[in-house]
Amino acid sequence: MTGVLSGCGLGGGSGEVTLKLVAADYGDSPANSSKKYWADLVDAYEARHPDVHVEVSVYSWTEVDRRVRRLVDAGKAPDMAQIGAYADYAAEDRLYRAGDVLSIPVQADFVPQLSQAGEVDGVQYGMPFAASTRLLFYNKTLFKKAGLKPPTTWAELAADAAALKDEGVTYPYALPLGPEEAQAETLQWLLSGGGGYTSTVGGYGLDAAENIETFTWLKDELVGKGLTGPVAPGKLNRAAAFAAFADGRVGMLNGHPSLMKTAEEKGVEFGMVPMPGKDGAARNALGVADWMAAFKQNGHGEQIGDFLDFVYGEKNVLAFSREYDLLPVTTSASGTMATAAGDQDLKPFLDELPLAELYPVGRTSWATVSAALKKQIGTAVLPDASPALVLGELQTRAMTADTSTSG
């Protein structure tokens, strides 16, 4: 899906500049497509800056990263791209540093967790554009029928899932380790077990003892006992799990803010709690961010910076976040959202952000590692699988990717 939202064109003026932005579509229908958000924002900007025109091409998330890579490889890089990863372009010296384009107050306003995740070797290239965290959603009707309360530990989660299974619930706990977004579900569980994707020394640590223990528990205590539903976790995608929750067929699953609206529209009564940890609430939640990158090829750094300063104004950040049930990426907008009566449904997710851990997107190898995780991690919970072996193979691939991209 592509659309161009443009101003009146160059018009022959020698001082006029046209900026090209490639953006992702966060909408789920034509009515709330991101095209409309960008059209309104560009109109407002161009009204104040008649010599700068902004052309925005909007693509679905399934193709936006590929489109940008194709443009870059063809020598036709856009001025800005709002995409899922930036580190490979930074490594190729194609990007402006955030500090080279943004004003100091705007760059300083980013949520610290997100600013740090946007760095490569201590320099920020990725500018966070949208963020979300995860909470454990549970179906209140199913829990009430089974006489349950939401879990705070792994043992309680497994016990609740067993009780839900006895009540005939299709997916007592939905575990989407399919190729759509397995890297998210995986990291949420690793964090709840005290592990993660990287080690304390800065490299990948996929086969750390804590991670092996987490996946062994999942394999034995949830999947092996039939508590994750009729579809093998490695074949269950997030979208299908969310749809099943909205249909009332899931007892528990990890979800992000957009699931609230979907469930409410289907009349599902749900609650949300922090992800249970091995022995109590997990220390860290999963955080996810999407990124704005500014390309140097066309030499429009000054105009890019002025436009992005406008984009990251509190009013615009809040408008985008509220339209798509996402978290603001700036401290000022986050403060407003935390106290606004109309935003209280997002506050539990907002509360998780300061302690959230994000994917290691600052590593140029992350795209390769993420693709391997999506393809392979679901096999770690198969009946005859060895979680240690699967995680060990993924660690080897990660180290190889790290070496090849940094060499």
Position 8 scores a pLDDT of: 33
Tell me the mean pLDDT in the region 373-386: 97
pLDDT tens profile 61-117 = 889 999 999 999 999 999 999 998 899 999 999 999 999 999 999 999 999 999 999
Query: Within 10 A of 33 (CB to CB), how many other CB atoms are there?
Result: 18
**Amino acid code (one letter) for 217:** W
pLDDT tens profile 32-75 = 899 999 999 999 999 999 999 999 999 998 899 999 999 999 99
DSSP string, 386-404: -HHHHHHHHHHHHHHHHHH
Q: Does domain 4-132+289-355 have CATH number 3.40.190.10?
A: yes
Spatial contact of 186 and 240, defined as CB atoms under 8 Å apart: no
Name the strand (E) or helix (H) holding 247: none
Instruction: Write the CB contacts of 149 (distance below 8 Å, at least 6 apart in sequence).
Output: 143
pLDDT tens profile 144-190 = 999 999 999 999 999 999 999 999 999 999 999 999 999 999 999 99
User: CA 287 to CA 302: how far, in whole Å?
Assistant: 31
Name the strand (E) or helix (H) holding 265: helix 258-265
pLDDT tens profile 122-135 = 999 999 999 999 99
pLDDT classification of 354: cutoffs 50, 70, 90: confident
Dihedral sign for Cα 186, 190, 196, 197, please.
negative
Beta bridge partners of 198: 204
Tell me the mean pLDDT in the region 10-32: 78
11 has a pLDDT exceeding 50: no
5 has a pLDDT exceeding 80: no
pLDDT tens profile 298-343 = 999 999 999 999 999 999 999 999 999 999 999 999 999 999 999 9
14 has a pLDDT exceeding 90: no
Token pair for 189: 């569980």
Position 404 scores a pLDDT of: 77
Query: Within 10 A of 56 (CB to CB), how many other CB atoms are there?
Result: 23
Report the mean per-residue pLDDT for the chain. 93
Position 13 scores a pLDDT of: 39
Position 10 scores a pLDDT of: 32
> What is the third-level CATH fold of 135-284+365-406?
D-Maltodextrin-Binding Protein; domain 2 (3.40.190)
pLDDT tens profile 189-246 = 999 999 999 986 679 999 999 999 999 999 999 999 999 999 999 999 999 999 999 9
User: CA 298 to CA 133: how far, in whole Å?
Assistant: 35
Annotated domain spans of the chain: 4-132+289-355, 135-284+365-406
| Domains 4-132+289-355 and 135-284+365-406 equal at CATH topology level | yes
